Amino acid sequence: MRKNWIVYPYFGWMIAFTLIPLSLLIFFSLTTQTNQGISFSFDNFQRFFEPLYLQVLFRSLLWAGISTLFCLVLGYPSAFILANLKLKYKNTLILLLVLPMWINFLLRTYAWLTLLERRGLINTLLGHFGIQPLSLLYNDFAVILGMVYNFLPFMILPIYTVLSKINQNLLEAAGDLGASPWQCFCKVIFPLSLPGVSSGVTMVFMPAVTTFVISRLLGGGQYTLIGNLVEQQFLTVGDWNFGSAISMVMIFIILLGMSFTSRYEKTQEGGGLW
């Protein structure tokens, strides 16, 4: 066997920058600082299982779920229509769809502040119609809107990719065998698009659960999602042990989610998006 030396730099990097940090995280989560020094305990995890923090977890999962659902409901039809478009400039439309994804994520979130404020654009326009200013910012609505807005293209693209690769002959065959368009969709198209759907759901749900920027900027500091909780523990309160424990819980949730969706995925191809 030829010596496989070229993989060693990567091994080294991985150990240094992935495995060691992870072990530090595990170490911090299992220890607490007491007056006598460091002691091993499950206190941090126990504290997480208090009702207050479980509520935070539940809220994060719920909102991520709602945002994912909205993204799916809005995104699937878009992907479907796009895939079936016979226009010359289909590629341009895809380009335009991808463009917002390339704009800085923070700027996209910040953009909504101008629109949603009490004296912002939307309320000003509504005011012309005599409608009282709506409370559109710093509430559930704003945060979920922010999540849907940021992650929608991530739902549309994978579904579009899979839909556009569906062999047209299959559809023709189904039609020849007497299926109505609706049956065609339910029995042929939708099942075939499931890998794309599962890809999209993964790419929306995971970041949605763990975000802290969207809830911070659009939620006005009132919404503590699990990401905010971790950030707060590390940067404001300084309780790294509790923060690490919460991080471990987050990793666990993600791994759990991945094991569900991997049932629908076939072989992993490069990049995932392109």
Contact flag: residue 247 with other proteins (CB under 8 A): yes
Spatial CA neighbour of 199 closest among 41, 31, 57, 79: 79
Residue 204 and residue 154 in contact, taking contact as beta carbons nearer than 8 Å: yes
Nearer to other proteins, 74 or 186 (CB): 74
Q: Which of residues 170-199 bind other proteins (CB under 8 A)?
A: none
Sign of the CA dihedral with 243 first, then 139, 147, and 186 last: positive
Q: Rounded to whole angstroms, how far apart are CA atoms 138 and 111?
A: 14
Closest approach, Cβ 187 to other proteins, in A, equals: 21
Question: What kind and span of H or E run contains 19?
Answer: none
Nearer to other proteins, 193 or 240 (CB): 240
Nearer to other proteins, 161 or 177 (CB): 161
92, amino acid identity: T
Beta strands in the chain (DSSP E): 31-34, 37-40
Both tokens assigned to 262: 């991997």
Q: Which of residues 97-116 bind other proteins (CB under 8 A)?
A: 97-100, 102-108, 110-115
Q: Which of residues 112-171 bind other proteins (CB under 8 A)?
A: 112-115, 117-121, 123-124, 135, 138, 149, 152-153
Both tokens assigned to 63: 């909102």
Kindly indicate which of the ranges 64-72, 157-165, 169-177, 246-254 contains the residues binding other proteins, using the contact rule CB under 8 A: 246-254
Nearer to other proteins, 98 or 192 (CB): 98
Nearer to other proteins, 163 or 209 (CB): 209
Kindly indicate which of the ranges 37-45, 158-166, 189-197, 207-215 contains the residues binding other proteins, using the contact rule CB under 8 A: 207-215
Question: What kind and span of H or E run contains 230?
Answer: helix 226-232
Nearer to other proteins, 106 or 186 (CB): 106
Contact flag: residue 268 with other proteins (CB under 8 A): yes
Q: How far is CA 207 from CA 60, 77, 120, 174, 224, in A?
A: 11, 22, 28, 38, 15
Contact flag: residue 230 with other proteins (CB under 8 A): yes
Contact flag: residue 61 with other proteins (CB under 8 A): no
